[in-house]
Amino acid sequence: MITRILIRIKVVQMLYSYLLTKEGRTIKDAKKELEKSLDKAYELYISMLVLMIDLTDYHDLKLDMAKHKYLPTEHDINPNTRFADNGFIAKLRENEELNAYLKDNPVTWRDDIIFMKLMHEKIINSSVYKEYMEAETSDYASDCNFWKDVLKKVVFVDEDLQEILETKSVYWNDDLNVMGTFVIKTIKQFASDPDSATIQDKYKDEEDREFGERLFECAVRENEENNNIIDRFVQKEQWDTERIALMDRIVLGVALSEVKNFDGIPTKVSMNEFIEIAKYYSTAKSGQFINGILNSAINYLRDSGRISKE
Protein backbone atom coordinates (compact mmCIF):
# COMPACT_ATOMS: atom_id res chain seq x y z
CA MET A 1 0.00 0.00 0.00
CA ILE A 2 3.03 2.22 0.51
CA THR A 3 3.72 2.23 -3.21
CA ARG A 4 7.10 2.41 -4.88
CA ILE A 5 6.40 5.91 -6.14
CA LEU A 6 5.98 7.06 -2.53
CA ILE A 7 9.12 5.19 -1.51
CA ARG A 8 11.05 6.87 -4.34
CA ILE A 9 9.79 10.27 -3.19
CA LYS A 10 10.88 9.54 0.39
CA VAL A 11 14.32 8.38 -0.78
CA VAL A 12 14.78 11.59 -2.80
CA GLN A 13 13.72 13.69 0.19
CA MET A 14 15.98 11.78 2.56
CA LEU A 15 19.01 11.95 0.24
CA TYR A 16 18.48 15.70 -0.12
CA SER A 17 18.40 16.07 3.66
CA TYR A 18 21.37 13.74 4.15
CA LEU A 19 23.61 15.51 1.64
CA LEU A 20 22.80 18.95 3.08
CA THR A 21 23.36 17.94 6.71
CA LYS A 22 25.81 15.07 6.30
CA GLU A 23 28.17 16.29 9.01
CA GLY A 24 27.38 14.49 12.26
CA ARG A 25 24.90 12.10 10.59
CA THR A 26 25.49 8.50 9.60
CA ILE A 27 23.83 6.48 6.86
CA LYS A 28 22.34 4.36 9.62
CA ASP A 29 20.68 7.45 11.12
CA ALA A 30 19.33 8.49 7.72
CA LYS A 31 17.94 4.99 7.07
CA LYS A 32 16.14 5.07 10.41
CA GLU A 33 14.64 8.43 9.49
CA LEU A 34 13.57 7.04 6.11
CA GLU A 35 11.83 4.13 7.84
CA LYS A 36 10.15 6.51 10.28
CA SER A 37 8.95 8.68 7.40
CA LEU A 38 7.34 5.66 5.72
CA ASP A 39 5.79 4.57 9.03
CA LYS A 40 4.28 8.04 9.42
CA ALA A 41 2.91 7.93 5.87
CA TYR A 42 0.99 4.76 6.77
CA GLU A 43 -0.13 6.37 10.02
CA LEU A 44 -1.60 9.22 7.97
CA TYR A 45 -3.62 6.69 5.98
CA ILE A 46 -4.94 5.21 9.23
CA SER A 47 -5.60 8.69 10.62
CA MET A 48 -7.84 9.56 7.67
CA LEU A 49 -9.86 6.37 8.26
CA VAL A 50 -10.16 7.19 11.96
CA LEU A 51 -11.18 10.77 11.15
CA MET A 52 -14.32 9.48 9.42
CA ILE A 53 -15.23 7.41 12.48
CA ASP A 54 -14.53 10.25 14.92
CA LEU A 55 -16.56 12.74 12.86
CA THR A 56 -19.47 10.30 12.85
CA ASP A 57 -19.22 9.95 16.64
CA TYR A 58 -19.04 13.74 16.98
CA HIS A 59 -22.21 14.07 14.91
CA ASP A 60 -23.95 11.42 17.01
CA LEU A 61 -22.96 13.29 20.18
CA LYS A 62 -24.39 16.52 18.76
CA LEU A 63 -27.69 14.78 18.05
CA ASP A 64 -27.83 13.39 21.58
CA MET A 65 -27.04 16.79 23.11
CA ALA A 66 -29.83 18.37 21.07
CA LYS A 67 -32.33 15.85 22.41
CA HIS A 68 -31.45 16.84 25.97
CA LYS A 69 -31.75 20.60 25.50
CA TYR A 70 -34.02 22.42 27.92
CA LEU A 71 -36.56 23.04 25.16
CA PRO A 72 -35.85 20.57 22.33
CA THR A 73 -37.66 20.98 19.03
CA GLU A 74 -39.46 18.20 17.19
CA HIS A 75 -36.41 17.97 14.90
CA ASP A 76 -34.14 17.66 17.95
CA ILE A 77 -36.23 14.81 19.35
CA ASN A 78 -36.61 12.96 16.04
CA PRO A 79 -33.56 13.85 13.96
CA ASN A 80 -32.47 12.42 10.63
CA THR A 81 -29.84 9.87 11.73
CA ARG A 82 -28.65 8.83 8.28
CA PHE A 83 -25.18 10.36 8.84
CA ALA A 84 -24.81 8.81 12.31
CA ASP A 85 -26.05 5.41 11.10
CA ASN A 86 -23.81 5.28 8.00
CA GLY A 87 -23.31 1.62 7.07
CA PHE A 88 -19.78 2.05 5.73
CA ILE A 89 -18.62 3.60 9.01
CA ALA A 90 -20.20 0.69 10.90
CA LYS A 91 -18.19 -1.77 8.79
CA LEU A 92 -15.01 0.26 9.17
CA ARG A 93 -15.49 0.49 12.92
CA GLU A 94 -15.66 -3.32 13.16
CA ASN A 95 -12.61 -3.99 10.96
CA GLU A 96 -10.20 -6.32 12.76
CA GLU A 97 -7.04 -5.12 11.02
CA LEU A 98 -7.82 -1.49 11.80
CA ASN A 99 -8.57 -2.26 15.43
CA ALA A 100 -5.40 -4.33 15.75
CA TYR A 101 -3.32 -1.40 14.45
CA LEU A 102 -5.06 1.06 16.77
CA LYS A 103 -4.50 -1.19 19.77
CA ASP A 104 -0.72 -0.88 19.32
CA ASN A 105 -0.73 2.59 17.75
CA PRO A 106 -3.54 4.72 19.21
CA VAL A 107 -4.80 7.32 16.75
CA THR A 108 -7.61 9.74 17.56
CA TRP A 109 -8.98 13.13 16.59
CA ARG A 110 -11.16 13.47 19.67
CA ASP A 111 -8.73 15.80 21.42
CA ASP A 112 -8.70 18.21 18.45
CA ILE A 113 -12.01 19.72 19.51
CA ILE A 114 -11.85 22.97 17.53
CA PHE A 115 -10.81 21.20 14.33
CA MET A 116 -13.56 18.59 14.77
CA LYS A 117 -16.17 21.31 15.29
CA LEU A 118 -15.05 23.25 12.21
CA MET A 119 -14.81 20.17 9.99
CA HIS A 120 -18.20 18.90 11.14
CA GLU A 121 -19.77 22.28 10.31
CA LYS A 122 -18.18 22.29 6.85
CA ILE A 123 -19.52 18.81 6.14
CA ILE A 124 -23.10 19.48 7.27
CA ASN A 125 -23.12 22.74 5.32
CA SER A 126 -21.92 21.06 2.12
CA SER A 127 -24.08 20.15 -0.87
CA VAL A 128 -22.82 16.56 -0.56
CA TYR A 129 -24.33 16.30 2.93
CA LYS A 130 -27.60 17.95 1.89
CA GLU A 131 -28.12 15.61 -1.08
CA TYR A 132 -27.27 12.56 1.02
CA MET A 133 -29.60 13.47 3.89
CA GLU A 134 -32.50 14.45 1.62
CA ALA A 135 -32.34 11.45 -0.71
CA GLU A 136 -35.58 9.47 -0.77
CA THR A 137 -33.80 6.17 -0.22
CA SER A 138 -30.51 5.15 1.34
CA ASP A 139 -28.42 2.01 1.05
CA TYR A 140 -24.91 0.79 1.75
CA ALA A 141 -23.64 1.94 -1.67
CA SER A 142 -24.84 5.50 -1.08
CA ASP A 143 -23.27 5.43 2.41
CA CYS A 144 -19.90 4.61 0.81
CA ASN A 145 -20.33 7.19 -1.95
CA PHE A 146 -21.20 9.85 0.61
CA TRP A 147 -17.87 9.51 2.42
CA LYS A 148 -15.94 9.23 -0.83
CA ASP A 149 -17.45 12.54 -1.99
CA VAL A 150 -17.04 14.24 1.40
CA LEU A 151 -13.34 13.40 1.47
CA LYS A 152 -12.74 14.59 -2.10
CA LYS A 153 -14.83 17.77 -1.96
CA VAL A 154 -14.62 18.87 1.67
CA VAL A 155 -11.96 17.17 3.78
CA PHE A 156 -8.87 16.73 1.60
CA VAL A 157 -9.09 20.24 0.16
CA ASP A 158 -9.55 21.90 3.55
CA GLU A 159 -6.88 24.38 4.68
CA ASP A 160 -7.55 23.66 8.36
CA LEU A 161 -6.72 20.01 7.73
CA GLN A 162 -3.45 20.99 6.05
CA GLU A 163 -2.54 23.12 9.07
CA ILE A 164 -3.31 20.50 11.67
CA LEU A 165 -1.44 17.82 9.72
CA GLU A 166 1.65 20.03 9.76
CA THR A 167 1.41 20.32 13.55
CA LYS A 168 0.98 16.57 13.97
CA SER A 169 3.96 15.46 11.86
CA VAL A 170 6.71 17.10 9.82
CA TYR A 171 6.50 14.09 7.49
CA TRP A 172 2.91 14.72 6.45
CA ASN A 173 3.39 17.90 4.38
CA ASP A 174 3.53 16.03 1.07
CA ASP A 175 1.84 12.75 1.94
CA LEU A 176 -1.87 13.61 1.90
CA ASN A 177 -2.30 13.40 -1.90
CA VAL A 178 -0.84 9.90 -2.05
CA MET A 179 -2.43 8.57 1.15
CA GLY A 180 -5.74 10.17 0.24
CA THR A 181 -5.94 8.08 -2.93
CA PHE A 182 -5.56 4.95 -0.83
CA VAL A 183 -8.30 6.03 1.56
CA ILE A 184 -10.62 6.48 -1.45
CA LYS A 185 -9.50 3.10 -2.79
CA THR A 186 -10.31 1.53 0.59
CA ILE A 187 -13.84 2.99 0.52
CA LYS A 188 -14.34 1.58 -3.00
CA GLN A 189 -13.20 -1.87 -1.80
CA PHE A 190 -15.64 -1.72 1.11
CA ALA A 191 -18.38 -0.70 -1.32
CA SER A 192 -17.76 -3.61 -3.69
CA ASP A 193 -17.20 -6.30 -1.04
CA PRO A 194 -18.45 -5.17 2.39
CA ASP A 195 -18.12 -8.54 4.10
CA SER A 196 -14.48 -9.30 3.26
CA ALA A 197 -12.96 -5.87 2.45
CA THR A 198 -10.22 -4.65 4.72
CA ILE A 199 -7.74 -1.83 5.07
CA GLN A 200 -4.58 -1.70 2.99
CA ASP A 201 -1.44 -3.48 4.22
CA LYS A 202 1.55 -1.25 4.79
CA TYR A 203 3.60 -2.97 2.06
CA LYS A 204 2.59 -5.20 -0.81
CA ASP A 205 5.36 -7.68 -0.01
CA GLU A 206 8.80 -8.06 1.56
CA GLU A 207 10.52 -6.86 -1.61
CA ASP A 208 8.70 -3.53 -1.38
CA ARG A 209 9.53 -3.33 2.33
CA GLU A 210 13.26 -3.56 1.54
CA PHE A 211 13.14 -1.42 -1.62
CA GLY A 212 13.55 2.00 -0.01
CA GLU A 213 16.43 1.13 2.27
CA ARG A 214 18.34 -0.58 -0.53
CA LEU A 215 17.72 2.28 -3.00
CA PHE A 216 18.87 4.86 -0.45
CA GLU A 217 22.06 2.90 0.32
CA CYS A 218 22.86 2.64 -3.39
CA ALA A 219 22.23 6.34 -4.00
CA VAL A 220 24.52 7.36 -1.13
CA ARG A 221 27.27 4.93 -2.11
CA GLU A 222 27.14 5.90 -5.79
CA ASN A 223 26.63 9.64 -5.28
CA GLU A 224 30.02 10.67 -6.71
CA GLU A 225 29.81 8.23 -9.61
CA ASN A 226 26.28 9.38 -10.44
CA ASN A 227 27.35 13.02 -10.38
CA ASN A 228 30.16 12.24 -12.83
CA ILE A 229 27.69 10.58 -15.21
CA ILE A 230 25.28 13.50 -14.87
CA ASP A 231 28.04 16.06 -15.55
CA ARG A 232 29.16 14.14 -18.63
CA PHE A 233 25.78 14.62 -20.31
CA VAL A 234 25.02 18.04 -18.88
CA GLN A 235 28.18 19.33 -20.57
CA LYS A 236 27.37 17.51 -23.78
CA GLU A 237 23.95 19.21 -23.87
CA GLN A 238 25.66 22.53 -23.10
CA TRP A 239 24.03 23.02 -19.73
CA ASP A 240 25.95 24.84 -17.01
CA THR A 241 26.81 22.22 -14.38
CA GLU A 242 27.03 24.91 -11.69
CA ARG A 243 23.45 26.02 -12.32
CA ILE A 244 21.72 22.64 -12.10
CA ALA A 245 19.14 22.69 -9.29
CA LEU A 246 20.33 20.51 -6.41
CA MET A 247 17.00 18.69 -6.37
CA ASP A 248 17.35 17.87 -10.09
CA ARG A 249 20.80 16.41 -9.42
CA ILE A 250 19.48 14.33 -6.52
CA VAL A 251 16.50 13.05 -8.51
CA LEU A 252 18.85 12.05 -11.33
CA GLY A 253 21.24 10.35 -8.91
CA VAL A 254 18.52 8.25 -7.27
CA ALA A 255 17.12 7.38 -10.70
CA LEU A 256 20.54 6.21 -11.93
CA SER A 257 21.03 4.08 -8.84
CA GLU A 258 17.66 2.44 -9.42
CA VAL A 259 18.48 1.79 -13.08
CA LYS A 260 21.85 0.24 -12.20
CA ASN A 261 20.82 -1.89 -9.22
CA PHE A 262 17.25 -3.11 -9.75
CA ASP A 263 17.22 -5.46 -12.73
CA GLY A 264 13.51 -6.22 -12.35
CA ILE A 265 12.44 -2.62 -12.93
CA PRO A 266 12.34 -1.59 -16.63
CA THR A 267 14.27 1.59 -17.41
CA LYS A 268 11.11 3.18 -18.85
CA VAL A 269 9.33 2.73 -15.52
CA SER A 270 12.21 4.35 -13.63
CA MET A 271 12.38 7.23 -16.10
CA ASN A 272 8.66 7.97 -15.96
CA GLU A 273 8.52 7.84 -12.15
CA PHE A 274 11.48 10.16 -11.61
CA ILE A 275 10.38 12.61 -14.31
CA GLU A 276 7.10 13.03 -12.42
CA ILE A 277 8.92 13.46 -9.11
CA ALA A 278 11.14 16.15 -10.66
CA LYS A 279 8.12 18.02 -12.04
CA TYR A 280 6.55 18.12 -8.59
CA TYR A 281 9.57 18.80 -6.39
CA SER A 282 11.87 20.94 -8.51
CA THR A 283 11.38 23.55 -11.24
CA ALA A 284 8.85 23.86 -14.06
CA LYS A 285 11.44 22.75 -16.64
CA SER A 286 12.82 19.89 -14.56
CA GLY A 287 10.75 17.16 -16.18
CA GLN A 288 12.13 17.87 -19.66
CA PHE A 289 15.67 18.27 -18.30
CA ILE A 290 15.54 15.00 -16.31
CA ASN A 291 14.10 13.17 -19.33
CA GLY A 292 16.92 14.29 -21.64
CA ILE A 293 19.83 13.64 -19.27
CA LEU A 294 18.47 10.37 -17.94
CA ASN A 295 17.77 9.02 -21.42
CA SER A 296 21.36 9.79 -22.50
CA ALA A 297 22.79 8.35 -19.28
CA ILE A 298 20.82 5.11 -19.64
CA ASN A 299 22.02 4.67 -23.24
CA TYR A 300 25.58 5.25 -22.02
CA LEU A 301 25.21 2.65 -19.25
CA ARG A 302 23.77 0.18 -21.73
CA ASP A 303 26.47 0.79 -24.37
CA SER A 304 29.22 0.43 -21.77
CA GLY A 305 27.81 -2.87 -20.53
CA ARG A 306 26.80 -1.54 -17.09
CA ILE A 307 23.17 -2.53 -17.66
CA SER A 308 21.55 -4.92 -20.10
CA LYS A 309 17.85 -4.46 -19.37
CA GLU A 310 15.45 -2.54 -21.56
Rounded mean pLDDT, 148-161: 97
User: What are the distances in angstroms from CA 31 to CA 6, 14, 144, 195, 210?
Assistant: 15, 8, 38, 39, 11
239 has pLDDT over 70: no
Judge whether 238 and 88 are in contact, CB under 8 Å.
no
Residue-level pLDDT at 167: 92
Report yes or no: 3 and 178 within 8 Å, Cβ to Cβ. Answer: yes
Burial classification of residue 19, based on how many CB atoms lie within 10 Å of its CB (0-12 exposed, 13-18 middle, 19 or more buried): middle
Report the alpha-carbon distance of residue 24 to residue 272 in Å, rounded: 34
- Least confident segment among 21-25, 41-45, 186-190: 21-25
Rounded to the nearest angstrom, the gap between the alpha carbon of residue 300 and the centroid of all alpha carbons in its chain is 34
Q: Is the pLDDT of residue 140 over 90?
A: yes
What single-letter DSSP state applies at residue 153? I
Q: How far is CA 310 from CA 76, 87, 267, in A?
A: 67, 48, 6
Q: What gap in Å lies between CA 9 and CA 214, rounded to an integer?
A: 14
Distance of CA 121 to the CA centre of its chain: 26
Residue 198 has pLDDT above 80, yes or no: yes
- Taken in order of first residue, the domains within the chain and their CATH numbers are 4-192 (no CATH), 222-303 (1.10.940.10)
